[in-house]
Structure 1
Amino acid sequence: MKLKPSPALVKSSLSAHSVVGLVIGYLMYLVCLTGALVVYKDVIQRWEQPDVAEFSEFDSTTVETALNDYLSRQEQSPESLYVVLPTDHERRMHLSDGEAEWLLREDGTLGAEPREGLAHLLVELHYYLHLPSNIGILLVSALGAMLLGLIISGLLAHPRIFKDAFRFRLGGSRRLEQADIHNRLSVWGLPFHLMIALTGAFFGLAGLLVLTAAPAYYGGDREALIADIYGGDPVVEAPVQKVDVAAALAELQQRAPEAEPIYLVVQKPNTSGQFLEIAASLPGRLVYSEIYRYDADGIYINHQGLSDGIAGRQILYSVYRIHFGHFGGEGTTFWVKLAYLLLGLALTVVSVTGVNVWLARRGGRDWVNDFWCAGVWGTPAAIAMAALGAVVGNFSLIGFFLAGLVACLGLSLWLRDETRSAMLLKWGSAILLLLLVAVHGLIYPAQVGQGPVLAVHTVALLLAAWFVWAGYRQAAGIKAAEASRGGLAV
């Protein structure tokens, strides 16, 4: 006897399949879009709080003042105390105990707390999809692994993909148009896309490997496994005293004059086991930093071997800079970041057009089209709404973002016309961006024409103009289609 599923079961299974495919497609789109924007998170942070003092020069007195100012306010010392140093690229100084954080004034005293604004929201969405970190990073890494599989399978499934690298069929069949855009951008950005997928998959899967390897090879001791991979901490036993930052920085200058300190950490402060770590970037190297260790007297202990240790350690510590484009010397950093932004946006378009091709092949239309339209064109509007919330006050930005997405989804499902919905959502994004620039300018009038504020406002205005133009094109297409149907009716 043959077992044949009922029509109702088939229909519900197809709906479930569509939901899963759309959710994965949207999450891939969201991770790619936020990843492209996160490249400029330092600019966005400076735009969010433009009235914070900025400087690139500091001395040991500034650092010691910050440490003493913090420790004098605390009854109990933290496990680690971080001071992020200003550089030519990040002209702000921070202090953090791992839970709270403060921006520092030029004299080293504690200033305002940094806002968890738009930059924080974008980072949370890109790293963790704003889920609990252990779950989110695994999900994002799984998306990276899926992206890697899609790239490889796409290459194998299209033997003419390189031969047709400059073939465009625009303005005709929507399926062919979307397929050509998808395939062309896939080929042109192939090395970048492979690198992003591979390094993106690494971040969470490395943690998963630690969870599985520690019980198998280290008796469950994860710290011992991590120490073998990245290098262990030194063991120090000395009388409690203030850390001599000046001596440590002077010794580092003698030992590695080319190194540029980017942050320092007082480990186990105000205990007999305290020691100082100075993380410094090295010119011409992709490793995020080398970490130099000193005792409280500023006497050199060792360095972690991230730049000259085993090859695997050097590779692992280079993944971050490769994935986010944080490399390039003076004069090249700007172009590296711009390239990462454009290539990241191209990967975003690839993820969207891939789903568009699938929708075109389905034929007809239903709620799936409305859901996808709201996701693609509602996300920029939701991000703009969250940015507006960040500027106006200390609101829950993830709440603003999700509320914006839900509103866009409701509009799309109500209209049941993805072309008209896309037009309205584009115009909505333009209005929100214009409002964002206006409100930010009213709150910070003295900074309107300066540095990051000018850059972000310029980009926002250009994007608003593009959304208006794109929406107008769709409106013209809708009118032409209605006129054509009216002519046929006559």
Structure 2
Amino acid sequence: MDAATPPETRIEPANRPSIWPKVSPAFVRTVLSGHSGLGLVAAALIYIVCLSGTVAVFLNELKMWEEPAAPTMTTASPQAVQAFAEAITKAHPKAGFVYMGLPTPDMPRLYAMVGEQVFVADAQGRIAGEASAPWAGFLEHLHIYLHLPETIGLIVVGLVGAALTGLIVSGFLAHPKIFRDAFAFRWAGAKRLSQADLHNRLSVWGAPFHLVVAWTGAYIGLASVLLFAVAGVTTKGDIAKVTAPIYGVVPKADPTPAPFPDLVKALAWFDGKPQFEPTLISLTGLGTKGQLVEVNALMPKRLIYAERFTFDAQGRMTGKLGLSDDGLGKQVFASSYPLHFGSFGGLPVKIAYGLLGVALCVVTSSGVTIWLTRRRDRGRPAVRLEKAWAAVVWGSTTTLALSAALWLAFKTPPVWVFWAPLAVLVAAAVATRDARFWIVNLRIATSATLAATVAIHALKFGAPALGGVALGVNLTLLVLAAVIAPWRKPLTRETA
């Protein structure tokens, strides 16, 4: 072959035999349809992870909303913490681990987690009752694991984060003028153009946030794979040795009875140290010689989620994990969680994360819609995919709201209420009507379900639902119901 001959001038033999077997056009169409379907599945997972993550930014507020009558407090005395820990241990003597949360601005409760149960205390440290929040737990599990087995789910969500990172970067590379046109918007003209502008503008304005949550999501999810790989190479599969520098050492169990640890003295160690704010106490094997007391302390001027200190039974500080100053790797690890979940900077940061999360959902949704519209404009419409995508986008919002309403009303397991109706909606959309029908009616259903959720919450809890954090959440749900409702008839393709 003459390498100097320009490719466009080469003449191939007219009947040159192909090394590939001949396949029918119908088979090719089927394969392409399957390829597009797989792409839609990936986009659907990205959208559901983004949607659930946007709501999960307000996870603590939702926990307060789910149990609004539980006692609240701005601070808890060390004596109350000690009394509460002893009361919990007495009530649950076989609990291997107890996690105690101290009051913070976004979770103003003294609470203890024992397995799946959450108990709250009054100001004296007495157990005031249970305040578990199963629906908030469902939402958290949906975002982090997609309700898959935890290791598999974490990896899948990590891959979703990696895919989203790649889409963000490739989107910028594919649009070299995207920054120059950052404020250009074609309100008039074809609907496809205005939708493309909305997609591109939100992509530019939210780019720093989108990249941060995407790569931290990938990092958090796929770090588990890396840890297992490192363990296999360096410690013969002992994952505990690999994770010890970032999670701490799990003590060996020793059931020999021992005095209960002095939490009052342990908390007194933080007096006069304003750079540390104790927020979480991890108690292992209480009342035995194998007991371990660990205190997580926020550092308001640092991005890490906390520094961790260990104390002995007499309340003496015996060690520090070093998340704040022991190498760059630890600090990056400890900072990835606050960056991903927006758990720094208080409510203003959460609101910003919520709004930018909505923008990311819109970018994800419109990106697929633009691709489907271009196919239609080129004479290759993917009608079933259009309908399926409409059902995924608005069906997931409907079933997410429905899961909250039915959990409040009847304690219906939210996992089934979310996934089963969503699968039915997608199947029904593919089989019947057009995409516009599903968009309009599912928006109506979402709006009505959000309003119904507020009504159910108010009827169930009465006055506590109309004050504090619960009132803020309910008002937000009503605003979302009003915004989502289709106030005008969507444009038809002929007039778009």
2:212 counterpart of 1:188: no
Match of 1:30 in 2: 48
Aligned pair in 2 of structure 1 residues 48, 230: CA closer, same or farther (>3 Å)?
closer
Deviations 1:318-340 (Å, cap 9, x if unpaired)? 11111111112xxxx22111111
- Output aligned runs, 1:336-355, within 5 Å: 336-355=349-368
Distance 1:449 1:100 in 2: 26
Matched with 2:462 is: 445
8 Å contact from structure 1 (residues 367, 416) kept in 2: no
CA change 1:229–1:386 in 2 (3 A) is closer
**Aligned-pair distance for 1:236?**
11
2:296 counterpart SS class: strand
Alignment partner of 1:44 is 2:62 = yes
Contact residue 419 and residue 474 of structure 1 kept, 8 A: no
Give the letter for the 2:408 counterpart. V
Decide whether aligned partners of structure 1 residues 231 and 46 sit closer, same or farther in structure 2, where only a CA change above 3 A counts: closer
Aligned length: 472
Alignment deviations for residues 99-151 of structure 1 (CA, whole Å, 9 cap, x no partner):
54323333323343334443222211111111111111111110111111111
1:14 aligns with 2:32: yes
Q: Which residues of 2 match residues 324-339 of structure 1 at below 5 A?
A: 324-328=341-345, 333-339=346-352
Provide the residue aligned with 1:487 in structure 2: none
Q: Is 2:483 the partner of 1:466?
A: yes
When residues 236 and 114 of structure 1 are mapped into structure 2, their CA distance, relative to the original with a 3 A threshold, is closer
**What secondary structure, in the 3-state scheme, does the structure 2 residue paired with 1:367 have?**
helix
Is this contact kept in 2: 1:236–1:275, CA < 8 A? no
Q: Name 1:359's counterpart in structure 2.
A: 372
Residue of structure 2 in register with 1:108 after alignment: 125
Contact 2:385/2:430 (8 A) holds in 1:
no
* Gap change, CA 1:458 and 1:201, over 3 Å in 2: same
TM-score (structure 1 length as normaliser) = 0.91
CA 192–28 in structure 1, closer or farther in 2 if over 3 Å, else same: same
Flag the 1:427–1:227 CA change in 2: closer, same or farther, 3 A.
same
CA contact (8 A) 2:68 2:465 kept: no
Aligned residue type for 2:388: F
| CA drift at 1:168 | 1.6
Counterpart of 2:304 in structure 1 is 287
Q: State the AA in 2 paired with 1:325.
A: G
Match of 1:424 among 441, 444, 451: 441
Distance 1:21 1:386 in 2: 27
Runs of at least 4 residues of structure 1 off by over 4 A? Answer: 229-239
Paired residues of 1:434 and 1:464 also in contact (CA < 8 A): yes
TM-score normalised to structure 2 length: 0.90
Match of 1:5?
Answer: 23
Matched, 1:60 2:78: yes
The residue aligned with 1:397 is 414
- Within 2, Cα distance between the matches of 1:206 and 1:402? 27
Letter in 2 for 1:43: E
The Cα offsets for residues 175-207 of structure 1, whole Å up to 9 and x where unpaired, read as 322221111111111111111111010112111
Describe the shift of the 1:436–1:77 C-alpha distance in structure 2 as closer, same or farther (beyond 3 A): closer
Q: Is the contact made by 1:253 and 1:259 (CA closer than 8 Å) also made in structure 2?
A: no
Which digits, 9 at most, give the CA deviation of each residue in 1:371-393, with x for residues without a partner? 01111111111111111012113
Residue pair 1:415, 1:421 contacting (<8 A) in 2 also: no
* 3-state SS, counterpart of residue 261 of structure 1: strand
* Whole-angstrom CA distance in 2 between matches of 1:135 and 1:235: 28
Residues 201-238 of structure 1: CA deviation (Å, up to 9, x unaligned): 01121110011111212232222221245554689999
The equivalences for 1:85-484 within 5 A come to: 85-229=102-246, 232=249, 240-254=258-272, 256-328=273-345, 333-363=346-376, 364-413=381-430, 415-468=432-485, 471-474=486-489, 477=491
Structure 1 CA distance for aligned equivalents of residues 132 and 252 of structure 2: 36
Partner Cα separation in structure 2 for residue 231 and residue 45 of structure 1: 28
Whole-angstrom CA distance in 1 between matches of 2:464 and 2:347 = 22
RMSD over aligned CA atoms reads 2.2
Alpha carbons of structure 1 residues 439 and 235: separation in structure 2 relative to 1, 3 Å: closer
The secondary structure found in structure 1 opposite 2:280 is: strand
Which residues of structure 1 form unaligned runs of 5+? Answer: 485-490
Structure 1 contact 230–306 (Cα < 8 Å) conserved: no
**Structure-2 separation of matches of 1:353 and 1:122:** 24
CA offsets 1:362-416 (integer angstroms, 9 cap, x no match): 1135211110111111111111111101211322011111243245335534542
Looking at structure 2, the residues matched to 121 and 297 of structure 1 have their Cα atoms a distance apart, in angstroms, of: 38
Distance 1:155 1:100 in 2: 46
Q: For the residues of structure 2 that align with 1:76 and 1:335, how far apart are their CA atoms?
A: 41
Deviations 1:40-77 (A, max 9, x none): 11111111111111112211222222222222234535
Partner SS, residue 263 of structure 1 = strand
Q: Is the 8 A contact 1:117 1:387 kept in 2?
A: no
The unaligned stretches of length 5 or more in structure 2 are 1-16
